[in-house]
Structure 1
Amino acid sequence: MKLFTRRLGAALFGLAIATTAQAEDPVKIALVHGISGHSFEVFSKQAQTGFELGIEYATGGTNMVKGHPIEIIHKDTQFKPDVARAVLAEAYGDDEVLLAVGATSSGVTKGLLPIAEEYERILIIEPAVADSLTGPDSNRYVFKTSRNSSMDMQAQALALAPDENLFVATLAEDYAFGRDGIAAFKTALDGSGATIVTEEYTPQGTTDFTAATERMFNALKDKEGRKVILIYVAGGGDPMGKILAMQPERHGIEISTGGHILPVLPTYKRAPGMEGAIYYYYEMPKNPVNEWLVTTHQERFDGPPDFFTAGGMAAALAVVKALETAEEWETEALITAMEGMSWETPKGTMTFRPEDHQALQSMYHFKIRVDDDVAWAIPDLVREITAEEMNIPIGRNN
């Protein structure tokens, strides 16, 4: 009897050890971002910081979900489509991650969509923007916490208050982000009476906008009404500065553009009073998540959080919510949990639309104010533009 008791005790002790070890197995999440070799690198670094802060916030500082530590595996796309596809396949295959988050450039990210489908693993897109990422070429394994071009442009159109007296020339980069953005802007203007007089597309990395600007001036200058050049450029090159240097006011032409990250906002000081739409500025959302993010980021990094910091945090909060609510940690159960899922973010409530997995969210109408005591131009909030106000087209329909 004593021998049986000892054996039973040893067996139970061994079972307890095995159970504890199993409970402590990490849940692996890949962050697939370009962190070398491109001007967009700063976007990736912000998203990474925001993601790590989001995991911390969502887990109360434990970085654990249901007793499992969250292990973040970093993959560098180098902003090259072939490298991006290879490292995502490596993350799903060799690293056995449960899901992945990325990437930064819309053009690079588009190539990741079939990899997620091939491995039947979830890809949460953050911070890439293009509508096409949840469009017909996407698939059921793709979810998107970042805003899309339609949100940018519907909010931008609402900020411009379009009517039959508005004439617009557009400037964008010639790739998925720029093309999708202008297409969305044209859709947003449908029925308003406003007119697009010309569309200019420049290669990524362009620094000389002289010819494009002259063509836009010529298309606008003789129009009777409000004349606006809309800039939708994510990269460098300072198109706004170059256009303003050519004195559009000579022709009664205004400049409008979306908001940008803090390092770029000092250039907006050249355009006081300019109105547009922005995805995030740290002073705009009023909610507990954003208050924590602003306070914590200020304490740790001696500055406020930026555009993609908020986006990275939103993605992390979505991951933790999905892990907490899914019946199992496998792809189909996660998809079931995430379709229609709402969760709190620095921007307020976001919801994954079941049809195409785009996260619906607010945008913000701003007006630029210049304060000599602040290093950047301040995008003062005119009003929040809610998801309900924007008619965002459904992308994927299968």
Structure 2
Amino acid sequence: MLPNSNYSEEKDMKNRQYLMMLLSLLLVFVLALAACGGEPAAEEPAEEPAPTETVEPMAEEVEPAAEEAEEAEPVAEESESVAEEAAETEAPAAEEEEMAGDGGTAVCEEPVKVGLITDVTGDLSIYGAHMLRSFPYGMEYVAGAPGEKVSDEQWTFQIDDCTVEIYIQDDQSAAENTATVARELIEVEDVDILVGTVSSSATATLQELARENKIPLIVAPAAANDITGANFNEYTFRTSRNNYQDTVNLCEYLVQDYSTFVQIAPDYAFGYGGAAAYRDACTLFGGEFVSDDIFAPADTTEFTPYMEEILDSGADAFLVTWAGGGFVPMMQAATDLGVLDEMNMGASFVDNVVMPVFFGNNIGNTSGIIYHYTAADNEVNDWLVAKTMENDGVPPDLFDADAMNAALLFGNALRATGGDASADALISAMEGMEFEGPKGTIYIRPEDHVAIQDMYIVTLTNLDDPEFKFFDYVETNRPDVPCLLPEELQDRCGDLPIGSLSGK
């Protein structure tokens, strides 16, 4: 019996040891379960802000750490640090959206399509290049992130939950080409909005097509008064200035030094608008025109007879409204005949590239300019300058601001509508809109869709600075110009002066 009794005791001892081992394993399991179940719950808030790729790796780090209870606490601290870094990384984009004038969140079921028409290979392609460069930058600024350049003719951007596709067409500043490419954008690509173009005459064609097809149009950089005057329709907006804004900016300064004027302009809409605006503005501020306005064909290369007429007028200063290559032979004729020795030239300064050609004999002159990157002083301009210097190796030029502002107007309008890209929604959003751009605050006048904006007076100090720092800043003006709508639409003008600065 004794052997059997010892066996039973040994068996009981083994059973008790086995039971203790099971209890120990169970306790270990419970502790492990508590470690796995407790820590991830504490980490959930850190994962909440994870719509961006920056935060996702943090979430992956937490999961393996939770498998080992002794490492859970340090990983929690590391996760918080990563979340803070992610928030800091996202902050600039959020700041850009706020600076761009975010008016809501855009949500779109289908891509929104923009047709950008500009001069890529024509006579005014030097200005089309500004549009091609800075319209995408404006879209990037609104979106808070760079877009995808699909090809030279297409970009894609993401504004909130809206995919925006940009389709680019070259019209060579010829109205017949403008009509062709605009119809392709409307009928083939089914664009929701048009942007363009450089030539004022081509823009008139684009306006009519936008009206016929009930598609909003943002004009940039064409300047003719008629765009938001005689040719106005409810679908046409602009971020470019008009002739009147040029002349008010310049005449208010010129009449301080000169009393009598004569002027020359090209024989088409841009020239007519410039001449009428110069005559109105300089007269209003106290100047006098001593000769009839001189109009020359836009393709003129021999300016001698025109310069002789200017010289014979005996005016204190001659005013020039011109765009394109004709300015070079004009200045050559003025120099050869001694016109510049007898009278001052009043003309707004132009783009960085051709300044040395056009104004080589004008060092020390003070005049107006639409935009120069050294004159504008605001955060959006700083951002644009940094972008073009980094990516293009040059600062922004004369019409880069118009291009970026066109994108900002569209992008902010799309946000304001919540992503509704219908004509009615975009028109309602853009009328009266105010936003910050490279030229400061832009206000889209609801009466006639003129873009009220800053203009600059600067003094030309040199023409050889490698970064095109040609000017000393003098002052900023913000011309308030008349409503130029045709008679049948003048009820829209409200309290604005109609037809001229005096309203008479």
TM-score, structure 2 normalization:
0.70
User: Is this contact kept in 1: 2:355–2:463, CA < 8 A?
Assistant: no
The separation in 2 between residues aligned to 1:343 and 1:285, in whole angstroms, is: 15
Equivalent in 228, 250, 273 of residue 317 of structure 2? 228
Shift of 1:356: 0.9
How big is each residue's C-alpha offset from its partner over 1:4-62, in whole Å with a ceiling of 9 and x where there is no partner?
xxxxxxxxxxxxxxxxxx957321100011222x2201111211211011101111115
2:255 and 2:286 in contact (8 A); partners too? no
Contact kept, 8 Å, 2:267 with 2:298, in 1: the verdict is yes
Residue identity matched to 2:267: D
1:18 aligned partner: none
Aligned length: 367
Residue 149 in 1 paired to residue 234 in 2? no
Q: Does 1:338 align with 2:430?
A: yes
For residue 172 of structure 1, the aligned residue among 265, 282, 285 is 265
Which residue is equivalent to 1:35?
120
Separation (CA, whole Å) in 2 of partners of 1:307 and 1:250: 28
Shift of 1:177: 0.9
Q: What's the counterpart of residue 128 of structure 1?
A: 222
Q: What RMSD in Å do the two structures reach over aligned CA positions?
A: 1.9
Query: Which blocks of at least 5 consecutive residues in structure 2 are unaligned?
Result: 1-106, 147-156, 493-504
The 5 A counterparts of 1:345-384 are: 345-370=437-462, 373-374=465-466, 378-384=470-476
CA contact (8 A) 1:256 1:274 kept: no
Q: Please, which of 127, 131, 134 is the counterpart of residue 50 of structure 1?
A: 134
Structure ranking higher on relative contact order (CA contacts 8 Å, 6+ apart): 1
Aligned to 1:210: 304
Contact 1:269–1:376, Cα closer than 8 Å, also in 2: no
Q: Which has the higher strand share?
A: 1
User: What is the CA–CA distance in structure 2 between the aligned matches of 1:369 and 1:183, rounded to whole Å?
Assistant: 30
Aligned residue identity for 2:361: R
CA contact (8 A) 1:368 1:377 kept: no
Indicate the SS of the match to 1:112: helix
Query: What CA deviation, in whole Å up to 9, does each residue of 1:227-246 have, x standing for no partner?
Result: 00111111113123431332
Q: 1:212 to 1:122 in 2, by over 3 A?
A: same
Structure 1 counterpart SS, 2:240? coil
- Give distance in 2, aligned partners of 1:292 and 1:266: 27
Deviations 1:284-331 (A, max 9, x none): 111110001111101111111101111111101111000000152211
Deviation at 1:361, TM superposition (A): 0.4
Point out the structure with max Rg over C-alpha. Answer: 2
Residue 319, structure 1, aligned to residue 404, structure 2: no
2 CA distance for matches of 1:30 and 1:372? 37
SS at structure 1 position matched to 2:360:
helix
TM-score, normalised relative to structure 1: 0.87
How far, CA to CA, are the matches of 2:108 and 2:378 in structure 1? 34
Relative distance call for 1:161 and 1:349 in structure 2 (3 A) is: same
1:324 partner letter: R
Correspondence 1:1-398 to 2 at 5 A: 25-36=110-121, 38-61=122-145, 63-161=157-255, 166-198=259-291, 199-220=293-314, 227-237=316-326, 238=328, 239-251=330-342, 253-267=343-357, 268-327=359-418, 328-370=420-462, 373-374=465-466, 378-387=470-479, 390-395=480-485, 397=489
SS in 2 for 1:269: coil
3-state SS of 2:476 partner: strand
Q: Which has the higher helix share?
A: 2
1:280: how far off? 0.4
Counterpart AA for 1:47: M
* Inter-partner Cα distance in structure 1 for 2:140 and 2:406: 12
Q: Give the superposition deviation at 1:191.
A: 3.4
CA displacement at 1:190 relative to structure 2: 3.1
What amino acid maps onto 1:297 in structure 2? T
Distance 1:138 1:201 in 2: 24
How far apart in 2 are the matches of 1:250 and 1:42?
30
Whether the aligned pair in 1 keeps the contact of 2:221 and 2:240 (CA below 8 Å) is yes
Equivalent AA in structure 2 for residue 172 of structure 1 = A
